[in-house]
Chain A
Amino acid sequence: MTSHLAVRDQFPIFAANPGLVYLDSAATSQKPQQVIDRLSRFYAEENSNIHRGVYRLSAEATARYDEARASVARFIGAARPAEVIFTRGTTESINLVAQAWGRVSVKPGDEILVTEMEHHSNWVPWQVLAQATGATLQVAPVTDSGELDLDAIAGLINSHTRIVAVTHLSNVLGTINPVRHIADLAHAVGALVLVDGAQSVAHGAVDVAALDCDFLAFSGHKLFGPTGIGVLFGRRALLEQMPPWQVGGGMIGAVSIDGTTWADVPMKFEAGTPPIAEAIGLAEAITFVESLGTEAIVAHEAELLALATDRLAAIPGVRLIGTAAHRASVISFTLEGVHPHDLGTVLDEGGVAIRAGHHCAQPLMRRFGVPATARASFSVYNTPEDVEALGRGIERARALFA
């Protein structure tokens, strides 16, 4: 391979688990040593609660937390750090918008548009919001190749549409969606756009200005960072209008018997002690990603995707689900006569870790007429040898179940 990244040694999981072929990065990425060290250093040397601490340690922890926010803002091209809210993850970020924005902004007769390829986390919050407000949930269809039907979307976006919630990169199909185009359609009728960036942030530059999205949600743990930390980007004007979601400590202006005023954005949306170490760990993960460079990551993964696509397509009985022209290194497939769970068990014996199931995308499974798929996803630490191990494992399963 010409553009082979040599970063595998930076991920201690592989030394601790010799023979591990980790092809489940779409579920969670492995962590580079520098992120693990950063978490450890925070707890060993810097731990204290943030805000209002009058002592040095707290002031420094607060500064690191604020720097993490600034680092995320820079990474996604947000105009200001205050547009970055720390959450527990993508799911919480989307729920925050559906609750805080949705409950006051969506009225009976309004429409909410999602797509058939959404993860349940970008589907269920909108479905529940629609049910609670009397709005209608519209669903944009997916073509046979696994792309969004853009003509259908153009027809579904109308003056009743309040928000379009769309994934940037399908966690099942690998399809990279033309989010900017969809945002333009939405904005033309005054609707907002929320982008689920859970998968896309780790596979190339995500720039909220270029996407022109109103909200972007993603998780730290798929971006080489810790679990328990996520991000909601929101345009400042929107965030300022939105009422708080969770209330309590850390998000108030002043509290009295008569009532409470709210802190300014972003603290208004960060009730309670936030995931401080995790935010700092996420910033370190971003440093890691930036040290590799988007171009190198994209080139590395594109080569693995091409190799894997060819290797799998050559195995009789393999059906690739999702053959979009613009795709990232996530491959879903089925093997004739072998249920994905059985395939997963056979692959596991060879140390190959894939995911099998509905991938939290049951509407999409129904669309393709399969109860489940096997999914292999590739990241910066994967190699051509990993692709070969996957291919051999599939062939072994095929022989076993013949």
Chain B
Amino acid sequence: MSSVSELYQSVILDHNKTPRNYGHLDSESARHAKGHNPLCGDQVTVWLELEGDVVKEVRFEGQGCAISRASASLMTVAVKGKTVAEVERLFSDFHGLVTGEASPEMEAALPARLKVFANVAQFPVRVKCASLAWHTMKKALDETA
């Protein structure tokens, strides 16, 4: 069994305490989506501003556990400046990481700061916490494409 201190790595604790890109986007061209985990009540809203094919700005707001907050925060850092195709690839690799289904190649392709979520796979009840913001971000991308 994976230990709690491996789950709550310092990067996760840091992003939980001081989330990056927290807030919302006012601009009319920004798209957003809401995500909700009815089982635990976690809520997140993700805003995206695209410039052409590139994520120019990204913000999130919401409430949830440390895993979901840190995951949302780290996600915003990871997707900013990426193309939509790159973002979708990241999501797929990240999803594989937290469900324990990622191939070594997928895992290797992920930025180091997202790999801190690898231990989530050892805590099956927390997988949804780690992936909520990503699913919501994907929803926002699909919203008004």
**A contact set with B: CB distance below 8 Å:** 337-342, 345-346, 349, 356-358, 362, 365, 371-372, 400-401
Contacts and interface: CB of A to CB of B under 8 A. Distances in A.
Contact of A372 (B8, B17, B40): B40
Contact of B8 (A337, A342, A362, A365): A342
B3 interface: yes
Interface stretch (B63-71, B76-84, B95-103): B63-71
Given A339-B66, A341-B129, A372 B4 contact: no
Interface string B21-65: 000000000000000000111110000000000000000000111
Given A339-B64, A339-B66, A371-B63, A349 B40 contact: no
A342 B40 contact: no
A339 B65 contact: yes
Given A345-B4, A345-B7, A400-B4, A372 B66 contact: no
B5 interface: yes
B41 A371 contact: yes
A341 B65 contact: yes
Most buried by A among B5, B65, B123: B65
Contacts of A365: 41
B14 to A, nearest CB: 11
A349 B3 contact: yes
Nearest to A401: B13
B62 to A, nearest CB: 10
A371 to B, nearest CB: 5
Nearest to B64: A339
Contacts of A356: 40
A358 B65 contact: no
A401 B41 contact: no
B139 interface: no
Interface residues of B, number: 22
Contact of A362 (B5, B41, B123, B129): B41
| Top-7 shortest CB links A-B | A339-B65, A341-B65, A349-B4, A342-B66, A358-B41, A342-B65, A371-B63
A342 B40 CA distance: 12
A346 B42 CA distance: 18
B126 interface: yes
Contacts of B129: 341
Nearest to A357: B40
B5 A372 contact: no
A401 B4 CA distance: 12
B22 to A, nearest CB: 16
B114 to A, nearest CB: 19
Nearest to B16: A401
B40 to A, nearest CB: 5
Given A400-B8, A401-B13, A342 B67 contact: yes
A342 B4 CA distance: 10
A349 B6 CA distance: 12
Nearest to B5: A400
A173 B17 CA distance: 29
Contact of B39 (A357, A371, A401): A357
22 contacts: A339-B64, A339-B66, A341-B64, A341-B65, A341-B67, A341-B126, A342-B8, A342-B66, A342-B67, A345-B4, A349-B4, A356-B40, A357-B41, A358-B40, A371-B43, A371-B64, A372-B40, A372-B41, A400-B8, A401-B8, A401-B16, A401-B66
A87 to B, nearest CB: 25
A356 B16 CA distance: 18
Nearest to B1: A349
Given A341-B129, A358-B41, 4 more contacts: A341-B65, A345-B126, A356-B40, A401-B16
A345 B123 CA distance: 9
A159 to B, nearest CB: 38
Contacts of B16: 401
B98 to A, nearest CB: 15
A346 B4 contact: yes
A365 to B, nearest CB: 7
A341 B63 CA distance: 12
A340 B42 CA distance: 11
A337 B69 CA distance: 12
